[in-house]
Amino acid sequence: MNTLQQPDRKHAPAFGTLDQVAIAEAKTIKLGNGIPLFKIDAGTQDLVKIEFIFPGAGATSQPGPLVSVGTNDMLDEGTGRFSSSELAERIDYFGAFLQMESTLDFSSACLFCLNKHLRDTLPLLEEMIKSASFPSHEFDTYLQNKKQKFLTDEAKVSTIARKKFTQLLFGDVHPYGHYLSQGDFETLDRQQLLHFHQRAYRADSCHVVVSGKMDPQLDLLIDTHFGDKTWSSMNTPSAKQPALIQSTLVKKHFVEKKDAVQSAIRIGRLLFNKMDPDFMGMQVLNTIFGGYFGSRLMSNIREDKGYTYGIGSGIVSLKQAGYFFISTEVGVSVCKDALTEIYFEMARLRNELIPEEELILVKNYLLGTFLRSADGPFSLADKFKNIYDYGLDYTYYQRYVQVVKNITSIDLQALANKYLQEGQMTELVVGLQ
């Protein structure tokens, strides 16, 4: 009955590579008060994501620890007109979702909703952004519960390693490096949040990114709720002086955690952000080293030795700096061996040319990853934000595709010798050695 021929299973089918990558670009308009609104009209479902971004409301702009995140988290905990529970009741009734994000460089308030509920939910977002009131009993509850979550996180070797590592790289004084501690929860007070909100959540220091399938009335609606001049700042706040980065001079660090079954490892160095001409090349090199499932670190330390469930490396681009890191959790008995193998792989990148076949694989993988990262309205919004935050335009992505396509093994070896010397690394182990 089965008359089908066996296909050729020994050889891979023919495949194509991406030559040009077309990204749907954001359209720009301005609200009545000058707020730039960037629109990405894409997707198949009748829904929308509206994100208000405040670049002056991130941790780098805050007067003290927790002020930025506390202010952002509490936007929905009560306003001039609505109590916390009234807001929650309305948001939930209209099937909407809020996502408050507070990062080192900015804070944002984001609303997800079906288009049919847009008219009911936008006024709520307006209330939160313009008139959050930070009621004191809500503040107490918030702080108490946030502290308990903090203590749970602090019991994980991976959390300790992540926080301690950036502290080593940037120093505790710099907001990028501050090690949040229990004491920070004791000193935070509600007035700080009120002041920070008044200063940082202002029409003239914000922009809006909207993505999804656009309601034809969307511009008008957003302008109605956010386009007035009443919430612009009275006076331009003076730019905060960037704090000094003070890296540790000691290269190897160990934090003991008794009873640990695994130790967390972090190895890395200060690098640069995406404005540097070497950034894109380093992204390719990082991918080969530890940036994808088939990376050298994964192949050696997981797939050959079985020391870990996962190991990876990455480059973090921040507004004022950037860093490179390797991260893993390994069985305590193989911690030393894992460290040896990590440095072995690093040396191999400096001393040997990457074979052509591996390089082609990684290039194609990166181009496919790029395509995935630009799929769907929300991803396209992220693509836009990633360049806008640095004052870049969409040609950045064309350059990226060209760098990925054209970089050679010789270029990559030179980058490894420049930036991946063992002596340049800071090493941290948390757990048992």
Site for another protein in 294-353 (CB under 8 A): 294, 302-309, 329-331
**DSSP character at residue 113:** E
How many Å apart are CA 389 and CA 387, to the nearest integer?
5
Q: Closest distance between another protein and the C-beta of residue 365, in Å?
A: 4
Among 29, 275, 353, 371, binds another protein (CB under 8 A): 371
Q: Note whether 4 binds another protein by CB under 8 A.
A: yes
Q: Note whether 156 binds another protein by CB under 8 A.
A: yes
Among 28, 99, 144, 351, binds another protein (CB under 8 A): 144
Torsion from C-alpha of 152, 156, 158, 161, nearest 10 degrees: 90
CB nearer to another protein: pick between 46 and 276:
46
Stretch that binds another protein, among 103-111, 241-249, 371-379, 384-392 (CB under 8 A): 371-379
Q: Note whether 42 binds another protein by CB under 8 A.
A: yes
Residue with tokens 């002041």: 195
Q: Note whether 20 binds another protein by CB under 8 A.
A: no
Interhelix angle 84-93/118-131, nearest 10 degrees: 150
Q: Note whether 414 binds another protein by CB under 8 A.
A: no
Stretch that binds another protein, among 28-36, 267-275, 376-384, 413-421 (CB under 8 A): 376-384
Q: Note whether 10 binds another protein by CB under 8 A.
A: yes
Stretch that binds another protein, among 89-97, 190-198, 221-229, 273-281 (CB under 8 A): 89-97
Total residues in contact with another protein, by rule CB under 8 A: 81
| Residue 330 phi, psi dihedral angles, 5° rounding | -130, 155
Signed CA dihedral, 76, 77, 82, 88: sign only: positive
Among 40, 157, 267, 428, binds another protein (CB under 8 A): 157
Q: Closest distance between another protein and the C-beta of residue 259, in Å?
A: 7
How many Å apart are CA 4 and CA 414, to the nearest integer?
52
Among 27, 28, 92, 353, binds another protein (CB under 8 A): 92
Q: Closest distance between another protein and the C-beta of residue 155, in Å?
A: 4
3-state SS record for 284-330: HHHHHHHHCCCCHHHHHHHHHCCCEEEEEEEEEECCCCEEEEEEEEE
Enumerate residues 112-141 that contact another protein by CB under 8 A: 112-114, 117, 141
**Residue 207 and residue 36 in contact, taking contact as beta carbons nearer than 8 Å:** yes
**Residue burial 128-143, b: 16+ Cβ < 10 Å; e: rest:** bbbbbbbbeebbeebb
